[in-house]
Amino acid sequence: MSDLSGELIDNRYQLIRQVATGGMASVYEALDTRLDRKVAVKIMHAHLAQDEAYVNRFIREAKAAAALSHPNIVAVQDQGWNQNGAPAVFLVMELIDGSTLREYLNERGRFTVKDAINYLTPILSALAAAHSIGIVHRDIKPENILISREGRVKIADFGLARGEIIGSTMTAESSIILGSVSYLSPEQVQRGVADSRSDVYAVGIIAFELLTGQKPFVGETPIQIAYMHVNQDIPSLRSVRKEIPEALDELIRRATSRDPDLRPRDAATFLTELEVIASNLDPKQNQLKLNLDLPVEAIREKPRTKPEPTAISEPSIEISESTKEVRRSAEKKRRASKRVRRNRKIAVFLAVALGVGGWYALVGPGSRIVVPSTVGGSYQEAISVLTPLGLTNIVVEKRFDEEIPLGTIIESSPPGGGRIDPTATVTLVISKGLERYIFPTLTGLTPEAAAKAIAKYPLSVGTTSQMYSDVIPKGFVITSQPKSGVKVKRDTAVNLIISKGPETIPLASYVGKSGEQALNELTDAGFEVVSNYKFSESILAGAVVSQMPVGDIDAPKNSTVTLVISKGSQYVFIPNVFSLDEASAIKALKDLELKVNVKKLGAKKVKKTTNISPKVGSKVKRGSTVTITVG
């Protein structure tokens, strides 16, 4: 687009200089001559202004931003079409004198934790305001985040925004193309859908970039980067920068989860969790916050270890008793004999109980091993726990599960806490992850063949509908929902779209009618028209001599109709050009598509026709040579 600096837009906005340009529009610093203030005017490129979809997107950008009133969102003040001067579709916004967050990143590299949180807070605050009224930005990236010279953070470019109050701005496919691939959520890449959690994902990527100074994924092409976002988890912040607080690392990990359900549900939730972390890092930062207190984790008691028995060597003591003492001892033994007999019985009972207990523990049922709980761990973790206990007979079963991740133990038999013989079998049920099936290609099959192909999977045939197709013959499958190559759940209903063949429309006969009429009516009806011309002795010039296909039939829409249009008779009659000057005679003959040969006699300056051959009234073919004599 040419530079429009100096133009007066809408008789109001004087364009001063071009400050930025992109694939869709250019931005100018301008003067609002009515209010005498500086503004930013965004003008769509002229070649895009002819595309209704782009114009609608441009207008909805204005509606999206105008629907929001927030100090961290660039305000849109006007929108319109320039009626005078250069044709232009334009938006008028507040002028932000500053830089983009991308420029700050390029200059500073990575940020401190405190600075990163200070930048993320207004971004999330602005998005929270948008999400609260159902508007999703869908194109959050450092290039769309402006920082004024006063330090105010502003979000711009709601061109891809969507929401109930403004409608959707583009198709899913175009939003994927227009969005910046490094910040697109996996669901935008895979399914072309986006909600508030998609914006949360983009902010999470920005947070990663602020804290590490680099993007999580780098590839040679955009499609490689998009593939990484879909198939790989974002690296941990602490794997790149050790001093990142664990709570912040965990929050960003959840915000950039490939599963939207694991992310904070919107920017407000994300902001609340971030503020808790910020308050925990610096409690003095905002004493007025009511959410400073964090839940206190229970203190785990340290395992107590039994002290090792200490060997004590008893000294040898020599005892000497007198006769009196011996008698006293004998009398004491006699008095204690009843107690001794009772104690002996108790000792015998305890010995028997001890023997039974020993048999139970060493030989009997008590010798069984208590199976530890392995649920939630991996197979290798289970082996490392079971093998030292002597449990080596382990059987693995695998089962699909919608909630338990791939490779994680779902249950065991016997369950944790159960007793088992050392030689018995422990069965581990391990998750196979999500049960998904790659949907087959059904295009070009008959409905019966498609149903057989679907029956090979745990899927069902849903509804069938019909639509016209110029490519797929009538009665065959055009496509299906879901489409081929997509991973689907068990029992998914597959809807088939069957071809009705090409759409046909009535084709009238235009033989003998005006060629112009035929061309206009056939084009309006949806046909492609090819016109050829020929001489005709029976059809007037400009009328249709013949057409193919012939008329009065139903022909496929967008098919080609060939018209042969009359050039009139191939013959003409020699006109009377006697006494006409040379130039007039030549013109009269050439108008009849005749060639003229001139013979000149005499020395007169103005020569007139004195003879003509063939003679006047002769019937000759167009293109024949006529000789005139002038003198």
- The one-letter code for the residue type at 181 is V
Q: Which of these, 426, 70, 407, 55, lies nearest to 267 by C-alpha position?
A: 70
Contacts of the segment 254-258: beta carbons below 8 A, 24+ positions apart: 255/200, 255/201, 255/203, 255/204, 255/207, 256/201, 256/204, 256/205, 256/208, 256/216, 257/201, 257/233, 258/186, 258/229, 258/230, 258/233
139 annotated active-site: yes
Q: Which of these, 14, 90, 82, lies nearest to 45 by C-alpha position?
A: 90
Are 477 and 499 in contact by the 8 Å Cβ rule? The answer is yes
Q: Which of these, 507, 621, 611, lies nearest to 555 by C-alpha position?
A: 507
Are 85 and 189 in contact by the 8 Å Cβ rule? The answer is no
List CB contacts of 473: < 8 A, sequence separation 6 or more.
Answer: 499, 501
Q: Which of these, 242, 161, 246, 149, lies nearest to 202 by C-alpha position?
A: 161
CA distances from 291 to 39, 103, 153, 283, 306 (A): 40, 34, 24, 11, 43
Among 10, 32, 78, 139, the active-site one is 139
d(CA 292, CA 276): 6
Question: Per DSSP, what are the bridge partners of residue 522?
Answer: none
Sign of CA dihedral 329, 334, 339, 342: positive
Question: Per DSSP, what are the bridge partners of residue 413?
Answer: 427
Are 630 and 599 in contact by the 8 Å Cβ rule? The answer is yes
Phi-psi region of 373 (alpha: psi -120 to 50; beta: other; left: phi over 0): beta
> Which stretches of 387-505 are DSSP H helices?
447-455
Residues 386-396 as b/e (b if ≥16 CB within 10 A, e otherwise) read: beeeebeebee
Question: Per DSSP, what are the bridge partners of residue 80?
Answer: 90
Question: Per DSSP, what are the bridge partners of residue 28?
Answer: 18, 41
- Residue 630 host element (H or E): strand 625-630
Residue for token pair 């508007």: 135
The answer to whether the bond into 414 is cis (omega within 30° of 0) is: yes
Token reading at 608: 């007139």
If one counts every other C-beta atom within 10 angstroms of the C-beta of residue 473, the result is 10
CA distances from 355 to 348, 362, 367 (A): 11, 10, 14
Residue 383 three-state SS: helix
Are 384 and 401 in contact by the 8 Å Cβ rule? The answer is no
Which residues are designated catalytic? 139
